[in-house]
Amino acid sequence: MSAADVRITGGFWAQRQEVNATASLRHCLSWMERLGWTANFDRVARGEEAPSAGREFADSEIYKLLEALAWESARSGDAWVEETFRSLSARVVAAQQPDGYLNTRFGGPGQEPRYSDLEWGHELYCAGHLIQAAVARARTAGRDEFVEAAIRLADHICEAFGPGRIERVDGHPEIEPALAELYRVTGDRRYLEQARLFLQRRGTGTLDHGEIGPEYFQDDVPVRDADVLRGHAVRALYLSMGAVDVAVEDRDAELLGAVTRQWRNTVARRTYLTGGMGSRHEGESFGDDFELPSDRAYSETCAGVASVMLSHRLLLAEGRPEYADLIERTLFNVVATSPDAAGTSFFYVNPLQRNAPGTEAETDRPSPRAASSQRAHWFDVSCCPTNVARTLASLSGYVATTSDRGLQLQQYAEGTIDTRLASGDRVRIRVETDYPWSGTVTVAVEEAPGEDWTLALRVPAWARGRARIADATGAERVVEEALAEVPMSAGELATVRLELPLEPRLTLPDPRIDSLRSSVAVEAGPLVLCAESVDLPAGTSLRSVAVPADAAPAAMADGAELAGVHVHEGEDPWPYGPAEAAEPDREIRIPLIPYHRWAERGPSEMRVWLPRLPA
Ligand SMILES: [Zn+2]
């Protein structure tokens, strides 16, 4: 099924797609024009010698914006979006060298030679993003000048990094999934072979690791021997995407098994409640097992985007609903958290706790990547805004899957799906829902295949045993399994209704997560909730709030509420002693809002996990 088969027409995600289309795309472009990142291409096209503006990976931000524009042009047909894609991509193509090489940072007059800094230069990383943008364009509009330029670049890379040539890898994976995807679009196996070569070389020490060590680059262990994701989170996730792509195309069960093993262990031990990945600021990396501090969480927005892309590949490869569960959790609690309501400020890091209210980010200068306690307009390293933009523009690709047996609804959004099953039969359905604000999902089959088929609706793990499904006859049953399957007869036009229980629920952590011991969180449907100090009585700190052992969340229009207690803050000169000092002194209401909306009302303390008093 292609992204074009699905249209999201209303509700939570349609609104975000609209803001992305009308605000975020222009916002990203205007910052990159202003900072000279787009002009780098014009300078290279003129053959001028000058320092490049921005960091060594600035080219990739233009490419991710181009990818977002390509998806968005297909989604909405907006004239400004299409014209901007054409004009911006023409500036990129003009900077390509006769042999296909394309990078504004290396290889030109007065610049370091090509491929002289594979560890940190990001040349193949940037090339990968260019190719991904071209793949999006080829899938939505066919082969144009930009796609042809990407093919010339890929040909150059296969030449430069083929057997007997530069037998090394890029410090930042990304070229691997890009080449595998280009193979899917062109059918040229050379790209798949080169992707496989890059994967095989990783973990064999072809990079100079310096002080940061091999794990940061996933160069410590070959991909197929690793048991868990480690090192720089975005790098680890992009590499895994490439490994799945190559494994699927080559029917390499061992390689696919290695990634599913790593995914399972990473989700079980190294993932936040929000779906966020990468707990350490140091090296933007995964921590040890169960090292998941809330306040020092890195949980980069890009790692959330990458996790969604990896899980989507695994869902397509194996069909297991847990992949779609994690996609949903991460979309609602990491991807949706990054942009503000206006679509012009973004979170780079996504901590689950903010101990000090912090300050507003500067509006006229890029922010340091992780320092902002509020969303920022742009960053010195600004990978996240364009990554959010391309994800929102291509979101329809995550909604449904097809198999030999029928169609599976994986994510819930109001819209239509018009596609063909594996049999070639056409099926058209309409989904009506106000999810995640309502748990009712109504699916009307408007055009049915000419043979019997199965409509399946994913039931998230938190809903199993409580969700109910009503088939075409109105007969209702409780769903215990991860996919609620409804057998459909040939030609039958029917309506199916799924009811997901959205009442707020308490969530407890694995006791091995030290930083969360004796804490509780509240979730409602797919949404993680959080408390913000702006909702507490004036002068009350979230540090002084706890939850009684028997507390139960009550549903509120905007989220939930917990009946908590205020704990006396002593002025002890030494914060340790033989007995617990703090005693509750009064009751306090703790309002909880969706985590994705935190920090929208100015600087505030914030907590997802609240301390729970002993019984
Ligand atoms: Zn990022």
Tokens of 529: 């909730």
Using pLDDT thresholds of 50, 70 and 90, give the confidence band for residue 572.
Answer: confident
Tokens of 98: 């006769």
Instruction: Exactly one of 61, 119, 174, 284 is catalytic; name it.
Output: 284
369 CA to centre of ligand 1 in angstroms: 8
256 CA to centre of ligand 1 in angstroms: 26
348 CA to centre of ligand 1 in angstroms: 6
Q: What is the pLDDT of residues 483-514, one digit of tens each?
A: 999 999 999 999 999 999 999 999 999 999 99
569 CA to centre of ligand 1 in angstroms: 38
Burial class (CB in 10 A: 0-12, 13-18, 19+), 573: exposed
Residue-level pLDDT at 423: 84
Tokens of 466: 């409580």
Tokens of 74: 């297909």
pLDDT of 453 > 70? The answer is: yes
pLDDT of 580 > 80? The answer is: no
In angstroms, rounded to a whole number, what is the distance separating the alpha carbons of residues 481 and 467?
10
Least confident of 101-115, 250-264, 369-383, 569-583: 569-583
**Residue 284 annotated to the active site:** yes
Residue-level pLDDT at 368: 80
317 CA to centre of ligand 1 in angstroms: 26
In angstroms, rounded to a whole number, what is the distance separating the alpha carbons of residues 494 and 447?
9
User: Which has more confidence, 2 or 614?
Assistant: 614
**Residue 383 annotated to the active site:** yes
Using pLDDT thresholds of 50, 70 and 90, give the confidence band for residue 370.
Answer: low
Please give the average per-residue pLDDT across 184-193, as a whole number: 98
Please compute Rg for the chain using Cα positions.
25
135 CA to centre of ligand 1 in angstroms: 21
Please give the average per-residue pLDDT across 460-481, as a whole number: 96
Task: Please tell me whether residue 252 adopts helix, strand or coil conformation.
Answer: coil
302 CA to centre of ligand 1 in angstroms: 4
Residue-level pLDDT at 372: 61
398 CA to centre of ligand 1 in angstroms: 21
305 CA to centre of ligand 1 in angstroms: 9
264 φ, ψ (degrees, to nearest 5): -60, -50
Q: What is the pLDDT of residues 277-287, one digit of tens each?
A: 999 999 999 99
122 CA to centre of ligand 1 in angstroms: 14
In angstroms, rounded to a whole number, what is the distance separating the alpha carbons of residues 396 and 409?
11
220 CA to centre of own chain: 25
Residue-level pLDDT at 125: 98
* Exposure letters 401-426 (e unless 16+ CB within 10 A, then b): bbeebbbbbbbbbbbbbbbebeeebe
pLDDT of 377 > 70? The answer is: yes
Task: Please tell me whether residue 101 adopts helix, strand or coil conformation.
Answer: coil
Instruction: Exactly one of 302, 383, 384, 530 is catalytic; name it.
Output: 383
Task: Give the predicted TM-score (pTM) of the model.
Answer: 0.98
Residue-level pLDDT at 488: 96
Residue-level pLDDT at 483: 97
Q: What is the pLDDT of residues 72-91, one digit of tens each?
A: 999 999 999 999 999 999 99
Residue-level pLDDT at 573: 86
In angstroms, rounded to a whole number, what is the distance separating the alpha carbons of residues 231 and 427?
44
Which residues are registered as beta bridge partners of 587?
565
Protein residues placing their CB within 5 Å of the ion ligand 1: 300, 302, 383-384
304 CA to centre of ligand 1 in angstroms: 9
300 CA to centre of ligand 1 in angstroms: 6
In angstroms, rounded to a whole number, what is the distance separating the alpha carbons of residues 344 and 499?
35
User: Which has more confidence, 380 or 180?
Assistant: 180
